[in-house]
Amino acid sequence: MSRMDELVKEINHLAHKAKTIGLTKEEEEKRAELRKEYLELFKEGFKKNYLDNMYFVDKDGNKEKVTKKK
């Protein structure tokens, strides 16, 4: 199981618990930390899998790699 899968499982568990019986202060903090880590991994994967492999093609068919604005 990947780290993303583990995070989703833990986040979902805490979300279910929050809806049913509520969370303690420690569990709320843990949920916030898990969400932050999940978003960091998501952004990293999105950049690696999509943005780093994205090109613009002009009307003449020339490919230009997408780069970060400066």
Q: What is the pLDDT of residues 14-24, one digit of tens each?
A: 999 999 999 99
Say what the pLDDT of residue 46 is.
Answer: 87
Question: In the chain, which residue ranges form alpha helices assigned H by DSSP?
Answer: 3-20, 25-49
What amino acid occupies position 37? E
**Which tokens is 52 given?**
């780093």
Place of tokens 């916030």: 32
- pLDDT for the residue 47: 84
Residue 7 pLDDT: 96
Chain-centroid distance, C-alpha 34: 11
- Angle CA(27)–CA(31)–CA(34) in degrees, nearest 5? 135
Q: What does the pLDDT read at residue 21?
A: 97
Main-chain phi, psi angles of 63, to 5 degrees: -95, 135
**What residue ranges of the chain have pLDDT lower than 70?**
none
Question: Whole-model pTM?
Answer: 0.73
Domains of the chain as residue ranges with CATH: 3-65 (1.10.287)
